Structures are given as C-alpha cells and as structure tokens.
Amino acid sequence: MKSDPHAPLLDDAAVAPVHAGNAPDDEADRAPPAPLPALGLVAWLFQALLFVAVPIGLLTLASLLAILVVRVGADLRIGVDVFTPEALRPRLPLREIAGRGVAADILRQVLVAALVVGLALWMDGAAWRRRLALTVPAEPRRSSPLRLWLLLAVWPVIHIVWVTETARALNGGVAQGIHLSPFLSPVSVAGWFAYVVVLAPVAEELIMRGEAFARASRIMRPAGAIAATALLFSLAHLSESGGIARPVSLLPLAITLGWLRWRTGRLWPCMLLHGWSNLALITYLLWPVSD
C-alpha cells in the first residue's frame, strides 16, 4: 500500500564571490528559464503525449528492472539456476516470496529516482536541479512556512477520513486493524516501512511533481499542471484488486501536492507531506482494533 505512502529541508549552498566571467556552479540552476515560443496544436499534442508517456515509461522500466534484478539476485543467493524453466523451479518458502516482494518495491523506487535524475541531467544539464524544483525558484513565491506546518498538522485527519470513506463506498478493502504478512522477517518489515514513508514519497515526487510537473508547466497554466499531474499520479496507482477506489482516494493528496509544488516552487514540501501522509495512514490502518 502506498498512499497511495519526507526529507528535511534542502539547504542551498552559499554562493562564493567570483571574478567576472566565472559564473558560480549553480547559477544555471537559479537562472530563469528562457521564454518558450507559442506552440501549435500538433506540437502541443506531442508535448502532452510526452507528459504522459515519459513518467509511465520510467515507472514501467524501473518495475521491470527491479523484478529482474531481485529475481536473479535472490535465485543466485539460494543456489537456484536462473535459467531453470518455470515448471521445474523449486517451490519457494513464503518468507522468501514475501522478502522478494519488499526488495522489488524498494529497488523500484531507487531506480525511479535514478532514472528521473538521469533524464533531467540529459535534458537540462547543469540546470537539472531547477528542472526538478530542487533549488530556490528564480521568482519569489508567496509561501508561508506557518501554512505548511498547519497543513501538516491537519492533513492526517483529512487524508484518513477521505481514504477510509471512499474505500468503504467503493468496496476498496481499506479498514483499520489490518496486519502485515506474518512471513515478513524483521528486516523486511523495516524495509517496507522505509519504502512507504521515505523511498516511495521521494521517488514519486521526483517523477510526478518534479519531471511531470515541469513538462506540464510548459504547455499548461498552473491549475492545469496541478490537475494533470494529480490525475496522472492517481491513475498510476490503478490496480486490478483495488479497482478505482485507490485512485479516487489519492486525488485530494495529489491535488494538494501539486498546489504545494506550484505555491512554494520547491519539491521538498511535497516529499514531506507525502511521507507524513503515508506514515499517518499506515499507523491508523495497522493500529490494533479492540474486540
């Protein structure tokens, strides 16, 4: 489950004085982007297609690589020939299967983050941090830290109520008192918590409110970029088992994260709220229910 699911404030390095003609290393990060020419309909549609295709492609590639690496690595660890036909493979213990699932989830998020950063480096070079909103925005934003902390204070209640009520209305199967798999080892349990509270929020914000938001902002107004990334984020969590309950339950979070990205011009508030939201939800869901 990821709520589906942050990092401390990112400090910006002080700029040392330099001689004329030698710009500081991060000047490219802070320089305002060059104005874009008006896009024709065909060009707009092409950019809109890339807005959807690039994040989905990166997520799919990361998932496939994670499954492959974990399967091969785990097979080698327990002495199974990786080229053994499926019908002849030994039956794996449930603890092994559960551990592989957590390992694949963790590795997928690491690969997503690496792929997004690599793409940003390829696209914008030295300005990759600006592309992903990891630097101070070139234009000052009217954002109050107090409002962020107030949002963090009230958000768990809003999120928990919305997720549980939509799940109840749409038969999503989310209720208090759920249990983790008994076949998870203590290491796997710790890894799962790290995945839900830290790794998934960081990776998902890099790809959604970082790369996808940057692409959407080139062809849409802020409200459109917020709505488009929220819809893409929610649909990316569509699953056969949960139906539309999970995407619907994530819409308020996705819209709020997009608003934070636009309002602050930074990515770290999105990561912080995402991780805090996931922590609050899983704490509520795993809390023992008295009979």
pLDDT per position as a tens digit, 232-262: 999 998 876 667 888 999 999 999 999 999 9
Q: What is the mean pLDDT of residues 260-281?
A: 95
Contact between 209 and 184 under an 8 Å Cβ cutoff? The reply is no
Question: pLDDT-derived band of residue 148, with 50, 70 and 90 as boundaries?
Answer: confident
Which residue type occupies 209?
Answer: R
pLDDT over threshold 50, residue 126: yes
pLDDT over threshold 90, residue 205: yes
Question: pLDDT-derived band of residue 145, with 50, 70 and 90 as boundaries?
Answer: confident
Burial of 178 (0-12, 13-18, 19+ CB in 10 A): middle
Instruction: State the pLDDT at residue 55.
Output: 97
Residue 246 C-alpha from the chain's centroid: 15
Q: What is the mean pLDDT of residues 270-278?
A: 96
Instruction: State the pLDDT at residue 195.
Output: 97
Instruction: Determine the Cα–Cα distance for residues 191 and 172; give it in Å rounded to an integer.
Output: 25
pLDDT over threshold 80, residue 140: no
Q: Which residue has the tokens 């994260």?
A: 257
Of residues 176 and 89, more confidently modeled: 89
Is 174 strand, coil or helix? coil
Helix (H) or strand (E) holding 253: helix 245-264
Instruction: State the pLDDT at residue 291.
Output: 58
Tens digits of residue pLDDT in 6-44: 333 333 332 233 333 344 444 444 444 444 455 688 999
User: For helices 41-78 and 94-124, what crossing angle results, to 10°?
Assistant: 140
- Report percent pLDDT > 90 for the chain: 64
Tens digits of residue pLDDT in 53-94: 999 999 999 999 999 999 999 999 999 999 989 888 889 999
Instruction: Determine the Cα–Cα distance for residues 264 and 279; give it in Å rounded to an integer.
Output: 23
Burial profile 218-254: b = 16 or more Cβ within 10 angstroms, e = fewer: ebbeeeebbbbbbbbbbebbeeeebeebbbbbbbbbb
Mean pLDDT of the chain: 85
Residue 129 C-alpha from the chain's centroid: 16
Of residues 16 and 170, more confidently modeled: 170
Helices (H), 16-93: 27-30, 41-78
Contact between 199 and 109 under an 8 Å Cβ cutoff? The reply is yes
Is 102 strand, coil or helix? helix
Q: What is the mean pLDDT of residues 218-239?
A: 94
Instruction: Determine the Cα–Cα distance for residues 116 and 132; give it in Å rounded to an integer.
Output: 9
Sign of CA dihedral 238, 243, 246, 251: positive
Burial of 121 (0-12, 13-18, 19+ CB in 10 A): middle
Instruction: State the pLDDT at residue 19.
Output: 36
**Lowest mean pLDDT across 32-41, 160-169, 218-227:** 32-41
Instruction: State the pLDDT at residue 241.
Output: 65
